[in-house]
A and B are shown apart, each in its own frame.
Chain A
Amino acid sequence: EAGVTQFPSHSVIEKGQTVTLRCDPISGHDNLYWYRRVMGKEIKFLLHFVKESKQDESGMPNNRFLAERTGGTYSTLKVQPAELEDSGVYFCASSQLANHETQYFGPGTRLLVL
Chain B
Amino acid sequence: SQQGEEDPQALSIQEGENATMNCSYKTSINNLQWYRQNSGRGLVHLILIRSNEREKHSGRLRVTLDTSKKSSSLLITASRAADTASYFCATAPYNNNDMRFGAGTRLTVKP
Contact = CB atoms under 8 A, between A and B. Distances in A.
Interface of A: 4, 6, 31, 33, 35, 40-45, 48, 55-56, 58-59, 91, 93, 98-100, 102-108
Contact of A41 (B35, B48, B99, B103): B103
Interface in B29-82: 30-31, 33, 35, 41-45, 48
Contacts of B109: none
19 contacts: A31-B97, A33-B99, A42-B4, A42-B101, A42-B102, A42-B103, A45-B99, A48-B97, A55-B97, A58-B98, A91-B42, A93-B43, A98-B97, A100-B31, A100-B97, A102-B45, A102-B48, A104-B45, A106-B42
Contacts of A106: 42
B41 A103 contact: no
Nearest to A45: B98
A105 B35 contact: yes
A99 to B, nearest CB: 7
A40 B45 CA distance: 21
Nearest to B101: A43
Nearest to A4: B42
Contacts of B102: 42
Which size class do B's interface residues fall under?
20 to 34
Interface of B (DSSP majority class): strand
Contacts of A105: 35, 42-45
A88 B98 CA distance: 20
B100 interface: yes
Contacts of B96: 56
A43 B98 contact: no
Nearest to A100: B92
A35 B97 contact: no
Contacts of A55: 97
A32 to B, nearest CB: 11
B106 to A, nearest CB: 11
